[in-house]
Amino acid sequence: MRYISTRGEAPALGFEDVLLTGLASDGGLYVPESLPHFSLEEIRSWRGLPYSELAFNVMYPFVDDAVPEDDFRKMLEETYAAFNHKAVAPLVQLDSNEWVMELFRGPTLAFKDFALQLLGRLLDYVLEKRNQHVVIMGATSGDTGSAAIEGCRRCKHVDIFILHPHERVSEVQRRQMTTVLGDNIHNIAVRGNFDDCQRMVKDSFGNQSFLGGKTQLAAVNSINWARIMAQIVYYFQASLALGGPDRSMAFSVPTGNFGDIFAGYLAKKMGLPISQLVIATNRNDILHRFMSGNRYEQRTLEHTLSPSMDIMVSSNFERLLFDLHGRNGEAIKTLLEDAAKGPVSIEDYRWRHARKLFDSDTVDDQATCDTIREIYEQNEYLLDPHTAIGVRAARNCRRDDKVPMITLGTAHPAKFPDAIAESGLTVKPVLPAHMADLFDREERYTVLDNNIAGVQEFIASHWKNA
Ligand SMILES: *Cc1c(COP(=O)(O)O)cnc(C)c1O
């Protein structure tokens, strides 16, 4: 399988290189040159398979000869055995034809584990083969760093440095990162804010001379193709569990960077009957505004009860725009360069096509809390605020009651106790057993000044072979 850039100028790469590359050299994102397509008969034959075997069938065409079949199977078994439910992505029924797919049964209780647990293993495999080492550097405002750290904890050829703003993340969030102890895991608390952290990461990628040429930086953010690939699988899993592919499904997806829902769009293109895909956003609703009015316009960031969806631009949306423009890289380059300067629109017929592919909705904090309370009162089932946005949007956008509506449950409610409290419920979400002692575990992190030279010096002197 070859991968090409959405901006048309960077060289095409194989899977291994795409794994190690973040942004393409022309500023674009890598996408497969062509997608595998599965017949209904083939999909039907996967009914009842364990999750890791289904994952193999869906993903192997993307990986291909980069990893031999048996090694890839083993990697998938190990990855999904670490989840705390045998079904890996179990479905919970909310109403007669309405479901939540629990994607928070992994080690850090968020759907990002599906991809990052696998990504860590894939990276280590490829680096071992190449006798190479990388340093992963990333910034987090709290919620997403832990999944990356967990994903890399067993990697022999990867050191990971995650920057978070000192005293500006919640204690649960900090402890989820800092209690993962390993020689290759480095948490840095920067005396600054999230933007300071992010700027340091960006500048370090731009000039890696501080590493002295002995290792290189790698990114594991949501633009990494392997992350999207791993998220396609659970759309197949949910469908097969509910009578697919002989009936079509609707999915509602709490959306930030457009990675998770883009995977649903790909599942459909690969042959899975999906009749509706709902983009569910919080008040940071650039995608909903685009879908409703063909105007793609950045606004200032708002802080909401669903922080993992607090984004100004959705980076993976570029991958959809590429398809909407007949995979014309030049057109995408112009469009996104313009979008960085001000609002843009696309040709009307292209936008109408996008509206056929997706529905969308925006859900504010009040409606999020109302939904958490309503579902708890109806079912004694607690939703986290991100999933609640998905459920609300699913109900608002639903077109056909006969089609199963599945909301992707992206986080465990115990990660966001404040939102549960704000919804007026007195019930307290409980951390699952494997995390119950989180507050008693040893923490390890280093506090550094808001100064890039100091942070780079720390990294240069603390990675494994430094
Ligand atoms: C990352 C995240 C999202 C958004 O997913 P995207 O792929 O960025 O659209 C939604 N909910 C939770 C809990 C997340 O961590």
74 in a domain, yes or no?
A: no
Alpha helices in 21-170 (DSSP H): 40-44, 51-63, 69-81, 112-130, 145-152
Distances (CA, A) of 8 to 3, 12, 20, 173, 421: 11, 9, 19, 39, 48
Residue 50 placed within a domain: no
Active-site residue list: 112
Over residues 336-363, the pLDDT tens digits come to: 999 999 999 999 999 999 999 999 999 9
pTM of the model as a whole = 0.95
Q: Give the tens place of pLDDT for each residue, 10-41.
A: 999 999 999 988 789 898 999 999 999 999 99
Q: How far apart are CA 447 and CA 401, in angstroms?
A: 53
Q: Which residue's CA is minimally distant from atom 1 of ligand 1?
A: 308
Contact criterion met (CB below 8 Å) for 214 and 308: no
Which of 185, 145, 135, 134 has the alpha carbon at shortest distance from 168?
A: 145
Q: Domain of 407?
A: 88-109+231-422
Concatenated DSSP letters of 179-213? T---TTEEEEEEES-HHHHHHHHHHHHH--GGGTT
By C-alpha distance, which of 113, 123, 118 is closest to 145? 113
- C-alpha span between 307 and 416 (Å, rounded): 10
Give a yes or no: residue 38 inside a domain: no
**Residue at 157 is within a domain:** no
Cβ proximity of 432 and 414 under 8 Å: yes
Distance 362 CA to ligand 1 centre (A): 15
Distance, CA of 136 to CA of 211 (rounded, Å) = 12
- Cα–Cα distance measured from residue 195 to residue 92, given in angstroms and rounded to the nearest whole number: 37
- Rounded-to-integer distance, Cα 465 and Cα 195, Å: 30
What is the CA(178)–ligand 1 centre distance, in A?
21
Q: Which residues of the chain have pLDDT under 70?
A: none
pLDDT at 23: 85
Shortest-distance Cα residue to atom 11 of ligand 1: 410
The answer as to whether 143 is a domain residue is: no
What token pair was written down for 305? 């009860």
Residue among 261, 265, 386 whose CB has most ligand 1 atoms within 8 A, to mutate: 386
Angle, helices 51-63/225-241, rounded to nearest 10 degrees: 140
Cβ atoms of residues 166 and 192 within 8 Å: yes
Q: From the CA of 452, how far away is ligand 1's center (Å)?
A: 28
Helix axes 365-379, 385-397, angle to 10 degrees: 90
Q: List the one residue out of 46, 48, 152 whose CA is nearest residue 59.
A: 46
Q: Which of 234, 255, 262 to mutate to test the pocket of ligand 1 (most atoms within 8 A of CB)?
A: 255
Residue 368 lies in a domain: yes
Angle between helices 225-241 and 112-130 (to 10 degrees): 130
CATH number at residue 366: 3.40.50.1100
Residue 369 DSSP class: H
User: Does a structural domain hold residue 145?
Assistant: no
Domain count, the chain: 1
User: What's the rounded Cα separation, in Å, for the pair 1 and 25?
Assistant: 19
How big is the chain, counted in residues?
A: 466
Q: From the CA of 222, how far away is ligand 1's center (Å)?
A: 9
In a domain, residue 434? The reply is no
